[in-house]
Amino acid sequence: MIKDPKSGYEGKRSWVLLKVKKFDDSEAKVIGHESGKGRNADVLGALKVKEVCPEEYEFKIGGGFDDNLRLNPPAIGSIVTFKY
């Protein structure tokens, strides 16, 4: 939390107090697609990716997709950027 040092205490939402959320991003290569469940049963549920770094860590990215991206997922072999 970042606060204006000249401001006093306010026991409510305030314009003098700012919550900071730090994110980093990285890139990964798409190595597969996984089908969704429920509402997304016939479209993309998750991307199977391999992080583009020396460790070659494999994981799934399953959130943050809009309906258009679920219908037209990135091709296998393409590079995607993700934040964490």
Residue-by-residue DSSP string for 38-84: GGGTTSEEEEEEEESSTT--EEEE-SS--HHHHHSPPPTT-EEEEE-
pLDDT of residue 79: 94
CA 47: distance to chain centroid? 12
Domain edges within the chain? 24-83
Confidence (pTM): 0.70
Instruction: State which fold the 24-83 domain adopts.
Output: OB fold (Dihydrolipoamide Acetyltransferase, E2P) (2.40.50)
Query: What percentage of the chain exceeds 90 in pLDDT?
Result: 44
